[in-house]
Amino acid sequence: MNSPGVELSLKETNRSRSGDRTLVTYSLYGVGLPPDTTYTLIQVQLDGTMAKVMEGVTLNSNGEAICAGREGTCKGDGPNDPIDLVAYAGKGEPKRFGLVSDDDAHAKGFVAVVPFPNAKTDKGCRLESIIGSPNGELTFIEGSGFEPNAELTIDGESCGEKHHDKSTAQADGSYFSALLPYVAGKKSGKTTIEVKSKNCDPKLTFEWGTYHLE
């Protein structure tokens, strides 16, 4: 979804506890975006809809998103105030942000972060579950570090219901699947998934049907 040559990144700057949740603060940086224009900051929700967060965002000489405080730009606590993105989330929940230019070029970039990853590693291979819908009715499984084009054995279990499958890693050693973990007669539960190759065997467990803030 990014314009050619555009890349956004997030840098975590703080974590603090507030009531029942942990607040994680990020700074936002952009590379390849036109410098002399303003941008609208958006957040992409789990269902794919986009919510406008702030208008009049600009980038400083380091590529950091700021509120310049001059006419036509957003206003912060002072001139050229860096924008703090404060997020809270559940385990494995992604937070996705984007910058879209306000001029006719419509340059844009998007970035995602998982503040509280649910991941396991084994011998250099990594497996992570990412929430795809509010209560995990859809969960994405992302893997990395497998041998290029390796044969993979996939074993999953939810509430005693077992699944066995075969797959192949991508040329870059990655793996991806989308799971619907619900079991008939159950409103919530846990799913264990194991992705095994010749050289590694990562295995993780994730919950579905419930949502808890970290």
Rounded to two decimals, the pTM is 0.92
> What's the rounded mean pLDDT across residues 155-172?
96
Question: How many Å apart are CA 78 and CA 65, to the nearest integer?
Answer: 14
Task: Calculate mean pLDDT across residues 159-181.
Answer: 96
For residue 188, the tally of other CB atoms under 10 A from its CB is: 14
- Long-range CB pairs of 11-14 (<8 Å, 24+ gap) are 13/84
Mean predicted confidence (pLDDT) in 134-148: 95
Q: Which of 113, 128, 143 is where one domain is finished?
A: 113
Q: What is the CATH number of the domain that holds 68?
A: 2.60.40
* Domain membership of residue 27 as a residue range: 7-113
What pLDDT does 47 receive?
Answer: 87
Judged against a pLDDT cut of 90, whether residue 174 lies above it is answered with: yes
Mean pLDDT of the chain: 96
Residue 82, pLDDT score: 98
Chain CA centroid to CA 178, Å? 15
Residue 168 confidence (pLDDT): 98
Contact 179, 136 (CB under 8 A): no
pLDDT confidence bin for 48, thresholds 50/70/90:
confident
Kindly state the tokens that stand for 181: 């973990």
Q: What is the mean pLDDT of residues 38-66?
A: 95
The helix or strand, by DSSP H or E, that contains position 137, with its residue range, turns out to be none
Residue 29 has pLDDT above 80, yes or no: yes
Query: Is position 149 within any domain?
Result: yes
Radius of gyration of the chain, Cα coordinates, nearest whole angstrom: 20
Residues 75 and 155 in one domain: no
Q: What are phi and psi of 144, to 5 degrees?
A: -150, 165
> End-to-end alpha-carbon separation of the chain, Å?
29
For the chain, what percent of residues have pLDDT higher than 70?
A: 100
Q: Is 212 helix (H, G, I), strand (E, B) or coil?
A: coil
- State whether 158 and 201 are in the same domain: yes
Dmax of the chain from CA atoms? 61
Q: Which residues pair with 161 in a beta bridge?
A: 158
Q: 192-205, pLDDT tens digit by residue?
A: 999 999 999 999 99
